[in-house]
Amino acid sequence: MSALLTLESLGVTIDDVEPRDLVEAVSFALAPGERLGIIGESGSGKSVTALAILGLLAHPLQARGSAVLSTGPAGSAGVEVVGASQRRLDRVRGAVVSAVFQEPLASLDPLMRVGKQLAWPLAKHRGLGGDALRRAVLDALADVQLPDPERIARAYIHEISGGQRQRVAIALALAGGPRLLIADEPTTALDVTVQAGVLDLLQREVSERGMSLIFISHDLPVVSRIADRVLVMRHGRHVELAETSQLLRHPVHPYTRTLVEASRELDAFLPASTGRSAVEEDR
């Protein structure tokens, strides 16, 4: 099966007074419908890697190597993101790859009503207008399980809760029907009960739409619940890549072993009512 995304020696350098590498030679291929978790501590290069894939790096950050997104059937030419023009990137963002970030307050427009923000990508990618566009906005809000979509569509983002804002961000990311969704710490800013609902929503949407997913987190139990494979990063380097169950049972790299053991120790302190994590199940 042809890969949807192929990274070959992807790196990111900060071109500052003293240039240095933030990400070094990350390589992997992501199949259509596959779910990849990327995990590592703060500063490991997870989010910078995601921004490079999206073509969203800003000066003084510079990408090198290769990140190719497939835009058609198997065997067709893909789009090389590294070094691509904004015009070329605009054709793949939203329609091929889209993203949900950690803080919706930073990614949503505080001066625009929710419905208007959602209408723009629906009109761009689906060619809708008039009543059909208004219905599509309400359907998109209902699809991410927001109560009273009409009220949400009229609201500004400061008038809805954090969990509702993140659901709006997910609806925006899905509006163009992308084949790949990148979720970068999408639940970190939410409380535990809201977090669980958003994770369930992401899993449902990805499964029903047959999308690929890159899920970025520092939380191994959360990643193990979602991902088919896990990429472990540390200090900007790819240190291990394995099937999720294999990585949990037989971690190879010392840093990965530390993450797995730390997650198991945390499980021991959780009350039974919280349920068993994938880390605990794979002991």
- Whichever domain contains 25, its CATH number is 3.40.50.300
169 in a structural domain: no
Q: Is residue 61 part of a domain?
A: yes
Structural domain boundaries enclosing 87: 1-96+181-188+213-283
User: Is residue 254 domain-resident?
Assistant: yes
How far is CA 15 from each of CA 58, 59, 84, 131, rounded to the nearest angstrom?
11, 8, 19, 49
pLDDT at 16: 77
Does residue 131 sit within a domain?
A: no
Q: What is the pLDDT of residue 280?
A: 42
Cα–Cα distance measured from residue 109 to residue 49, given in angstroms and rounded to the nearest whole number: 24
Tell me: pLDDT of 254 over 80. Answer: yes
How far is residue 220's CA from residue 7's CA, in Å, rounded to a whole number? 23
Helical H segments across 155-243, by residue range? 162-174, 192-209, 220-226
Within a domain: 196: no
Q: Is 132 part of a structural domain of the chain?
A: no
In contact, 234 and 38? CB cutoff 8 Å: no
For residue 51, give the H/E element and its range.
helix 46-54
The yes-or-no verdict on residue 8 having pLDDT over 60 is yes
Query: Which pTM does this prediction carry?
Result: 0.90
Examine the pLDDT at 33 and tell me if it is beyond 50: yes
Count up the domains in the chain and report the number.
Answer: 1
Distance CA(41)–CA(219), nearest Å, equals 9
Among candidate residues 37, 48, 59, 41, the one with its CA nearest the CA of residue 10? 48
Percent with pLDDT over 90 in the chain: 73
17-21, 212-216, 248-252: lowest mean pLDDT where?
A: 17-21
d(CA 63, CA 206): 28
Q: What pLDDT does 273 receive? A: 40
Question: Among 80-84, 111-115, 221-225, which is the least confidently predicted range?
Answer: 221-225
Q: What is the pLDDT of residue 266?
A: 61
Q: How far apart are the first and last CA of the chain?
A: 32
d(CA 12, CA 7): 13
CA distance 168 to 117: 9
Phi, psi of 19 (to 5 degrees): -55, 140
